[in-house]
Amino acid sequence: MNTFLRYLAQITLAGSIALGVATAAHAEDKVVRIGFQKYGTLILLKTKGLLEEKLKPQGYTVEWTEFPAGPQLLEALNVGSIDFGTTGEAPPIFAQAAGAPLVYVGYEPPAPEAEAILVPKDSPLKTVADLKGKKVALNKGSNVHYLLVKALEKAGLGYTDIEVNFLPPADARAAFEKQAVDAWVIWEPFLAAAEAATGARQLANGSGVVDNHEFYLASRDFLDAHPDVVDTIVASLGEVDTWINANRGDVAEQFSPALGIPVDVLEVAVERRTYGVKPITPEVVAAQQKIADVFHRLGLIPAAIRIADAVKKPQS
């Protein structure tokens, strides 16, 4: 019995030491995991390496993961694979409705021309009203989801007056080129790329229809544990936005190789966006709430949500 107790004490001690080492290693593992998309200030921040410089003195490293669209990015945030990311207006609404622990921490100014409803260059469709009964491709839960709803409404059509095909950008582009769908609702830089490569026409963009804000979001646990890091990320984004506004003519040439986007396409995408990260305001919360209420009314989200519940609180 004494031998057994000694053995039990030894393995308990060994386990405690191992646990202590693991805990210490975890505490020292200061990694910020950021999700980005094909274009935007966040990927330019990645390319510049500015954030790594700012966080290195604090002992942090940065891991970057690219996503095809906002819904996929926020699913990764929901399951704890990333800590911070950027999407348009619609994805965080769908994610919040699904219970994702996200927090809005900043936004970019409106960019209504940076998303549009495209048709092939030889399409007989001339107006949004012509979409009645047609097949329209879009990425489910993405920003263009709301553009489509509002554009149809403006044209006197309902969401059920068309046949929606949910496809991510790459698959939607293939279906569009094969004319397996009649129209494609898409954002930059996929928008400019499709126009340049196929001669696609815009039936409508967001002008006079939607704001098309871009939001920066953090996981609630990460924000609570590392508010200073989130502030550093947002401040760094502000520095990149300032640089872009002062050097618009250089953006495409400088970043095209790193982003894998042709210079002519990137030039169009840059000009259709506005830059200047800002803290979330009551007006932006109200605009986002309006979108959430529309989605709930259409049955696109299962329950009503309150956007204000997912907004970063001002520091006291």
Q: Where are the domains of the chain?
A: 30-109+213-309, 115-205
Residue linked to tokens 């609570």 = 224
Phi, psi for residue 209 in degrees, rounded to 5: -120, -50
Q: Is 124 helix (H, G, I), strand (E, B) or coil?
A: coil
| 115-205 CATH choice from 3.10.20.30, 3.30.565.10, 1.20.1270.360, 3.40.190.10 | 3.40.190.10
The reply to whether 115-205 shares the fold of 30-109+213-309 is: yes
The number of C-alpha atoms within 13 Å of 303 and in the hemisphere containing its C-beta is: 7
Report percent pLDDT > 90 for the chain.
79
Which positions ≥6 away from 166 have C-beta within 8 Å? 137, 138, 139, 140
Which helix H or strand E contains 267, and what residues bound it? helix 263-271
Q: Supply 67's token pair.
A: 């996503």
Cβ atoms of residues 236 and 167 within 8 Å: no
- Using one digit for the tens of pLDDT, what is the confidence trace for 302-314? 999 999 999 988 6
pLDDT at 112: 96
pLDDT at 38: 86
Cβ atoms of residues 112 and 274 within 8 Å: no
Phi, psi for residue 109 in degrees, rounded to 5: -60, 165
Residue linked to tokens 């919040």 = 96
- Using one digit for the tens of pLDDT, what is the confidence trace for 56-75? 999 999 999 999 999 999 99
Q: Identify the CATH homologous superfamily for domain 30-109+213-309.
A: Periplasmic binding protein-like II (3.40.190.10)
Which positions ≥6 away from 137 have C-beta within 8 Å? 165, 166, 167, 172, 175, 176, 181, 183, 184, 185
The closest alpha carbon to 190, from 259, 108, 282, belongs to 259
Q: Give 217's strand partners.
A: 85, 104
Local confidence band at 3 (pLDDT 50, 70, 90 cut-offs):
very low
Mean pLDDT of 186-207: 95
- Using one digit for the tens of pLDDT, what is the confidence trace for 120-177? 999 999 999 999 999 999 998 888 999 999 999 999 999 999 999 999 999 999 999 9
pLDDT at 254: 84
